[in-house]
Amino acid sequence: MAHPSEKWAGRPLPDLETKRLHLRQRRLCDAPDILEFTRLPEVAYPAGFIPTQTLADQRTYLEVFYPKNLHDNKLPSGYGLTLKGEDRVIGSIDFNHRLADDVLEMGYLLSPDYWCMGLMTEAAEAFLQQAFEGLALTKVELECYDYNHASRRLANKLGFQEEARLRARKDVRGERCDILRFGLLKSEWQGHQKRLQEGDDR
């Protein structure tokens, strides 16, 4: 029997709102704004891909490669991040792989203009709520290079547990590094949310 999340394969998830962000589907007309950060080495290499070179490349990704990955892995379409009151994509958050019927891997990008503002934490918290409540997932995983300290901090802040360290692998540039894998169970997420709420009530 197919897992409930598979009914979303290739389909857009409902828009989400946080205190400062609107999470919506990306459109082809967003390509110039997305290219502004996917072309940057400091964004692309730590995230595991070669910087996007041209607007045509960005359009091809949105039109061809992204939908193909959704289809092949039976994934729902993730989100572009926009600030409320603005309609310019400044980042993204997605499911990248289906690791089991009820276990998906997430990934995220954010323009350096908006680093160190807590925006990705805000987006990821809403995204995880959608994952565990809307898609009925049992677990969400993520992967990053050991030198991607921002991603590691975010994983820890969200309650993920480091589950594996694959030593002396190579990154997208062929340089040696460790690859870290993190996991978050639904029960751990629920406990994390409860602790946050109790802290807010004090």
HSE (CB half, 13 Å, CA atoms) of 198? 6
- Length of the chain measured in residues: 202
* The pLDDT value given to residue 202: 45
pTM: 0.94
Annotate 73-125 with DSSP letters as a single string: HT--B-EEEEETT---EEEEEEEEEEEETTEEEEEEEE-GGGTTSSHHHHHHH
Q: What is the mean pLDDT of residues 78-85?
A: 97
CA distances (Å), origin 161, targets 59, 108, 143: 35, 18, 11
pLDDT single digits (tens) 108-140: 999 999 999 999 999 999 999 999 999 999 999
The whole-chain average pLDDT of the chain stands at: 95
Give the number of other Cβ atoms within 10 Å of residue 107's Cβ.
18
- Per-residue pLDDT reduced to its tens digit, 145-159: 999 999 999 999 999
pLDDT on residue 43: 98
Q: What does the CA dihedral 30, 36, 42, 47 come to, rounded to 10 degrees?
A: 10
Q: How confident is the model at residue 1 (pLDDT cuts 50, 70, 90)?
A: confident
CB 144 within 8 A of CB 46: yes
Sign of the C-alpha dihedral computed for residues 166, 148, 106 and 182 taken in this order: positive
Of 143 and 6, more confident: 143
Alpha helix ranges (H) inside the chain = 31-38, 41-47, 55-60, 66-73, 119-129, 149-157, 186-201
Q: Calculate the dihedral angle through the C-alpha atoms of 107, 163, 134, 74, rounding to the nearest 10 degrees.
A: 60
User: What is the distance between the alpha carbons of residues 61 and 54, in angstroms, rounded to a whole number?
Assistant: 11
Give the torsion through C-alpha atoms of 84, 88, 93, 96, to 10 deg.
150
Inform me whether the pLDDT recorded for 98 exceeds 90: yes
| Neighbour tally for 59: CB within 10 Å | 17
Q: Which residues fall within 8 angstroms of residue 58, CB to CB, at 6 or more apart?
A: 31, 32, 34, 35, 38, 52
